Amino acid sequence: MGLKEDILRVQEAASEVMEIQEAAWDGKTLRLVGRFSPLLPFPAYTLREALAPLGYPYHLQPDGEGMIVRVWEDKKGWRKPPWLLNLFLFLATLLSTLCAGSLQEGGNPFRHFHHLHRGIPFSFTLMAILGIHELGHYFVSRRRNIRVTLPYFIPAPSILGTFGAFIKMKSPVPDKRTLLDIGVAGPLAGFAVALPALIVGLGLSRIVPSVKVEGIALGSSLLLHLLSYLVMGPIPPHYELILHPIAFAGWIGTLVTALNLLPLGQLDGGHVAYALLGKKQHWVARLVFLAIILLGFKWQGWLLWALLSLLMGIRHPAPLDDWTPLDVRRKALGLLALLVFVLCFIPAPFQIRMP
């Protein structure tokens, strides 16, 4: 059965929310024109709940004092993509992070395979943070009836062993409430793993005398400053903190959280900012884009991030329902995500230390 046979059911569902003044079927799309009931506090959200059981995508458009609802049939259908690629990328990233962790600990897994176990603390911690982050998005998306792929992990020949992970949404976001739920789910879930990892790792870290040798120094965030003081106390002059692999993975997890929460394009922060601010997100995104260009004079990696943001787009597209406001709980979640961003942000994550 298709939309043509379901026209009456769609109209009946919509009539629970709005007074339908006109209905037209052009063979592909059902067009309903009418006014929402004034007794409903959030009529657009109620319409979504009424139409959701029927499974047809729709779009809302203001029409003077009324509203136009366009409903269509998804001819493509939905097939879950094969999961073998996801599994292969997960195993490849697990191996690359094990190698990276082993090299950090002085091992050489390319010559001595048994050195690979030295990378377990770093690799398993980092993979848990990235995996929980993406699964947060995945499960919330599925719960809100958004078609979404399994996580794709990205292996990389680098000191981290990975470029992160991502999922792909295959259907449009219906409203700002869903947008915020999906946007905060990943960062907050990943942060919930990164935070204890950082605390445990700091307890295993060392404070040693500073040595003037060439190398890479890690930048610090407000969160790292606070936790290192609480766990290890003040660091004496001419001494420095050497992070344990678990703490290093936690540090990366907080950095990834902050990068994802930048209010740009379709990053997690872009979802959150649009849900909270609507079209004003575009102005916030422009200011943040200029800020990271300026930060590029402090750490050149920001210039690459600015280029990627420009290629992906810094404006966030509107959801299908751009009118239903957020409730108090979701506004609080959005502010919590902003707090996490401020705590985790690192102006210069990596710096070259000269002797």
Domains of the chain: which residue ranges?
A: 7-72
Distance CA 256, CA 344 (A): 9
Distance CA 56, CA 73 (A): 6
Structure token digits, residue 345: 């942000």
Helices (H) and strands (E) in the chain, counts: 11, 10
Structure token digits, residue 110: 């390319």
Please provide the distance, in angstroms rounded to a whole number, between the alpha carbons at the two ends of the chain: 73
Residues contacting residue 246 through CB under 8 Å, at least 6 positions apart: 121, 122, 125, 197, 200, 201, 204
Say if residue 153's pLDDT is above 60.
yes
Span 130-135, mean pLDDT? 96
Q: Print burial letters for 323-333: b (CB count within 10 Å at least 16), e (below 16).
A: bbebeeebeeb
Sign of CA dihedral 170, 174, 176, 181: negative
The helix or strand, by DSSP H or E, that contains position 20, with its residue range, turns out to be: strand 18-25
18-32, 47-61, 232-246: range with highest mean pLDDT: 232-246
Return the amino acid letter for 302.
W
Surface-to-core class of residue 11, CB atoms within 10 Å of its CB (0-12 exposed, 13-18 middle, 19+ buried): middle
Span 239-264, mean pLDDT? 94
Mean pLDDT taken over the chain? 87
Say if residue 77's pLDDT is above 70.
no
Span 132-145, mean pLDDT? 93
Three-state DSSP state, 203: helix
Confidence at 80, pLDDT banded by 50, 70, 90: low
Three-state DSSP state, 355: coil
Fold of the 7-72 domain:
Gyrase A; domain 2 (3.30.1360)
Distance CA 51, CA 146 (A): 14
Confidence at 287, pLDDT banded by 50, 70, 90: very high
Lowest-confidence pick of 65-74, 120-129, 158-167, 215-224: 65-74
Distance CA 274, CA 284 (A): 10
Confidence at 144, pLDDT banded by 50, 70, 90: confident
- In contact, 263 and 272? CB cutoff 8 Å: yes
Residue that has been written with the tokens 């506090």 in this structure = 41
For 180-215, the pLDDT digits (tens) are 999 999 999 999 999 999 999 999 999 888 877 666
Structure token digits, residue 115: 């050195």
Confidence at 75, pLDDT banded by 50, 70, 90: low
Distance CA 115, CA 311 (A): 40
